[in-house]
């Protein structure tokens, strides 16, 4: 099993390279985030449907003045955007390099946030019921394999607090096999922590602590976009993805149960009252 130390070392190496970027390349806010989602050369473009849906979920209720935790923040694009919207944001990541990058980005963006580098299974520095909202982008599937991580997540949330997860979705066994084959062919490092993909089975771990769990999935045939990664600047590639998204919309409107076979999801829930 992958240890937290191995995972931390891997991501420290990944994020250290961004510390040399100039401030103008680090700054973010709503305008920057929305622009990145629409720029074909930006890595965000591949997940633009997912990220748009994530933004809608996060701002479905006012965020100004709310205490928000960006859980497993990485470079903290969403957490820093929320800070520029007036939220009181804490950034949490296993990687100290990620927190260093995120704090440098916060300064470049003109906001003040708190940054914490810690193992998600031991969050003693955070008090009980501290947060109104916890947001995690491709993070929970990393942390839930560590004993006590879900319990700690629940502990630091207020009763009724919102949980918003932006994740890959593992309801399609054929897609899961394809993911594993792609990782094998690409020589993907084990430390990337992709051994768990969220599905209905994994979400059962939330049941003791959360209610109103909702999963909004997207991208069925459009998960073929992965084959076109790095080619979205080409009009023909964008045309193929757009056509696949249109096919998905038609099929899912007629056969809603197929939504569980989609490849990405925004998951929302509320912390149960004790």
Mean pLDDT of 183-202: 68
Which class would CATH give 4-218+264-271?
alpha beta
pLDDT at residue 2, as a whole number: 67
Nearest Cα to Cα of residue 50 among 240, 250, 241, 181: 241
What is the C-alpha to C-alpha distance for residues 245 and 69, in angstroms, rounded to an integer? 32
Largest CA distance in the chain: 53
- Which residues, at least 6 apart from 162, have a Cβ–Cβ distance to it below 8 Å? 61, 132, 133, 134, 268, 269, 270, 271
Mean pLDDT of 203-228: 95
pLDDT at residue 117, as a whole number: 97
The answer, yes or no, to whether residue 145 has pLDDT greater than 90, is no
pLDDT at residue 6, as a whole number: 82
pLDDT at residue 189, as a whole number: 57
Confidence of residue 182 (pLDDT cuts 50, 70, 90): low
Mean pLDDT of 93-119: 97
The pair of structure tokens assigned to 6 is 């191995």
pLDDT tens digits along 72-85: 999 999 999 999 99
What is the C-alpha to C-alpha distance for residues 151 and 130, in angstroms, rounded to an integer? 14
Mean pLDDT of 152-172: 96
pLDDT tens digits along 19-69: 999 999 999 999 999 999 999 999 999 999 999 999 999 999 999 999 999
- Which residues, at least 6 apart from 11, have a Cβ–Cβ distance to it below 8 Å? 74, 93, 94, 95, 97, 98, 191
The answer, yes or no, to whether residue 184 has pLDDT greater than 80, is no
Residue by residue, DSSP assigns 26-73 as H---HHHHHHHHH-TTSGGGGGHHHHHHHHHHHTSS--TT-EEEEET-
The answer, yes or no, to whether residue 201 has pLDDT greater than 70, is yes
The answer, yes or no, to whether residue 178 has pLDDT greater than 80, is no
The answer, yes or no, to whether residue 1 has pLDDT greater than 70, is no
Percent of the chain residues topping a pLDDT of 90:
81
Output 225 or 181, whichever has higher pLDDT. 225
The answer, yes or no, to whether residue 192 has pLDDT greater than 70, is no
Confidence of residue 181 (pLDDT cuts 50, 70, 90): confident
pLDDT tens digits along 89-101: 999 999 999 999 9
Mean pLDDT of 8-25: 91
Mean pLDDT of 222-250: 95
Q: What is the pTM of this model?
A: 0.93
Secondary structure of 73-142 as H, E, C letters:
CCCCHHHHHHHHCCCEEEEEECCHHHHHHHHHHHHHHCCCCEEEECCCCCCCCCCCCCEEEEEEECCHHH
Confidence of residue 197 (pLDDT cuts 50, 70, 90): confident
């Amino acid at each position: 099993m992958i240890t937290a130390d191995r995972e931390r070392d891997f991501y420290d190496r990944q994020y250290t390279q961004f510390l040399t970027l100039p401030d103008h390349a680090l700054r973010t806010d709503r305008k920057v985030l929305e622009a990145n989602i629409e720029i074909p050369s930006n890595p965000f473009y591949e997940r633009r449907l997912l990220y748009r849906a994530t933004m809608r979920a996060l701002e479905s209720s006012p965020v100004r003045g709310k205490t928000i935790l960006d859980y497993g923040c990485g470079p903290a694009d969403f957490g820093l955007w929320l800070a520029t919207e007036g939220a009181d944001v804490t950034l949490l990541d296993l990687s100290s390099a990620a927190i260093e990058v995120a704090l440098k980005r916060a300064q470049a963006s003109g906001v003040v946030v708190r940054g914490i580098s810690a193992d998600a299974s031991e969050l003693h520095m955070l008090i009980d019921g501290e947060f109104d909202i916890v947001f995690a982008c491709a993070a929970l599937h990393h942390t839930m394999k560590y004993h006590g991580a879900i319990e700690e997540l629940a502990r630091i949330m207020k009763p009724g607090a919102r949980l918003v997860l932006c994740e890959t979705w593992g309801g399609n066994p054929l897609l899961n096999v394809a993911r594993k084959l792609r990782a094998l062919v690409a020589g993907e490092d084990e430390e990337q922590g992709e051994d768990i993909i969220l599905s209905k089975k994994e979400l059962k771990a939330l049941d003791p602590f959360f209610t109103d769990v909702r999963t909004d999935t997207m991208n069925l045939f459009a998960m073929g976009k992965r084959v076109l990664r790095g080619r979205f600047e080409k009009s023909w590639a964008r045309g193929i993805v757009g056509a696949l998204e249109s096919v998905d919309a038609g099929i899912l409107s007629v056969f809603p149960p197929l939504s569980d076979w989609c490849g990405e999801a925004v998951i929302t829930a509320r912390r149960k009252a004790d």
